[in-house]
């Protein structure tokens, strides 16, 4: 099934609202911009839930090769993917001799006695992160310092790409984006959004069930809500004029 674009999601929201959809998102009028913002807010809102709950869709992978005598390495997202440098690396491992590197805390790292020796790496630590626009990266260090070239695979949390142009693709399912955005617009206009809110909660629960084996609870603000009866939080639903 082909991916649904930002334009297609916006168009479907328009049709649910019984309005003529735009043919492009370039130079939008005020109403179109409001719908676009609602779709973006839904995309980001669900994206943060997906990261918190560790849905499989948020993870990407890439590789790097160690260099003999080199302790530090820069990890980035694969081509076309941005890494969320505020989230931890899920795993670093080698496949030739299958094993994972252990993640060391700062205290553990400096307590180790092998930091200044060469050998086969056993642990890594995150040394720093770069938030440079368009090229976020995480710098790691290996211990012991590698004494040979080994190819490692690392799994990281993807930063949900911004929805900016007609062809932008959302990582969340189209129905979540459509129903969530429709609920926001209706609430912003002072119209009844009960059905859309309930539908959004059901769709979110279905997606979470697909990603997790056990039922968990989400916390919005300081109020716990059972996922089956989830309501959109006020900060999520409010749009500015």
d(CA 218, CA 150): 40
pTM for the full predicted model:
0.69
Give the span between the Cα atoms of 188 and 241, in whole angstroms.
Answer: 9
Q: What letter does residue 162 receive in the DSSP assignment?
A: P
Lowest mean pLDDT among 17-31, 35-49, 154-168: 154-168
State the pLDDT confidence band at 166, using cuts at 50, 70 and 90: very high
**pLDDT > 70: percent of the chain:** 83
Q: Kindly state the average pLDDT of the residues 112-126.
A: 81
Q: Which residues pair with 158 in a beta bridge?
A: 83
Nearest to 138 by CA among 160, 114, 155, 163: 155
Is pLDDT at 238 greater than 50 in this prediction?
no
Q: Which pLDDT tens digit goes with each residue over 69-104?
A: 999 999 999 887 888 888 889 999 998 888 899 998
Mean pLDDT of 176-188: 93
178 class by beta-carbon count within 10 Å (0-12 exposed, 13-18 middle, 19+ buried) = buried
Q: Are strands 218-220 and 223-225 parallel, antiparallel or unpaired?
A: antiparallel
Residues 18-33 pLDDT 10s: 999 999 999 999 999 9
């Amino acid at each position: 099934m082909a991916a649904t674009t930002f334009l297609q999601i916006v168009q479907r929201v328009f049709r649910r609202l019984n309005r003529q959809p735009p043919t492009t998102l370039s130079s939008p009028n005020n109403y179109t911009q409001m719908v676009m913002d609602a779709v973006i807010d839904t995309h980001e809102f669900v994206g943060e839930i997906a990261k918190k709950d560790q849905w499989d869709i948020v993870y990407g992978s890439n590789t790097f090769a160690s260099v003999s005598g080199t302790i530090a390495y820069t990890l980035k997202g694969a081509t076309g993917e941005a890494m969320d440098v505020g989230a931890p690396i899920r795993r670093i491992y080698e496949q030739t001799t299958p094993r994972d590197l252990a993640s060391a805390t700062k205290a553990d790292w400096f307590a180790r006695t092998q930091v200044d020796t060469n050998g086969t790496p056993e642990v890594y630590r995150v040394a720093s992160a770069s938030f440079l626009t368009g090229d976020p990266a995480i710098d790691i260090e290996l211990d012991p310092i590698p004494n040979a070239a080994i190819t490692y695979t690392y799994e990281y949390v993807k930063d949900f790409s911004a929805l900016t142009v007609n062809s932008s693709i959302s990582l969340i399912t189209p129905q979540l984006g459509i129903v969530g955005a429709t609920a926001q617009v209706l609430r912003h206009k002072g119209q009844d959004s009960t059905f859309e809110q309930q539908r959004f909660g059901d769709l979110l629960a279905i997606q979470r069930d697909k990603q997790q084996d056990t039922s968990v609870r989400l916390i919005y603000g300081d109020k716990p809500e059972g996922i089956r009866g989830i309501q959109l939080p006020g900060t999520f639903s409010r749009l500015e004029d």
